[in-house]
Amino acid sequence: TYVIAQPCVDLLDKACIEECPVDCIYEGKRMLYIHPDECVDCGACEPVCPVEAIYYEDDLPDQWSSFYKANVEFFDDI
Ligand code: SF4
């Protein structure tokens, strides 16, 4: 799955939402989240993010590794 990280917080540009072919990017209060089971790993969202907040899970920078869990847990709560 792809994961949205820190740069999205309080920005929510939403350019990625338009690109996602399976509509698996959802809006939270402070950032957007990718549904880990719905994402088809197409990569379309990554280049359109103006702040490079989106990463393939294995490429997530170390300082933002907690965002993998944050994305998963967002969907546990709804
Ligand atoms: Fe959607 Fe593709 Fe991005 Fe996954 S990688 S969130 S399917 S645009």
Cβ of 47 less than 6 Å from ligand 1: no
Q: Is the pLDDT reported for residue 18 higher than 90? A: yes
Kindly report the pTM of this predicted structure: 0.95
Tell me the per-residue pLDDT of 37-74, one tens digit each, with 9 for 90 and over: 999 999 999 999 999 999 999 999 999 999 999 999 99
Q: Verify whether ligand 1 is closer than 6 Å to residue 15 (CB atom).
A: no
Measured in angstroms, how far is the CA atom of residue 12 from the centroid of ligand 1? 16
Indicate the top mutation candidate among 16, 23, 26, 45 to test ligand 1's pocket, ranked by most ligand atoms within 8 A of CB. 45
Query: Residue 29 has which token pair?
Result: 């209060």
With a cut of 90, say whether residue 77 has pLDDT above it: no
How far is the C-alpha of 63 from the C-alpha of 6, rounded, in Å?
9
User: Which ipTM did the prediction report?
Assistant: 0.98
H helix runs in the chain, sequence order: 15-19, 66-76
Q: How confident is the model at residue 78 (pLDDT cuts 50, 70, 90)?
A: low
- Give the pLDDT of residue 11: 97
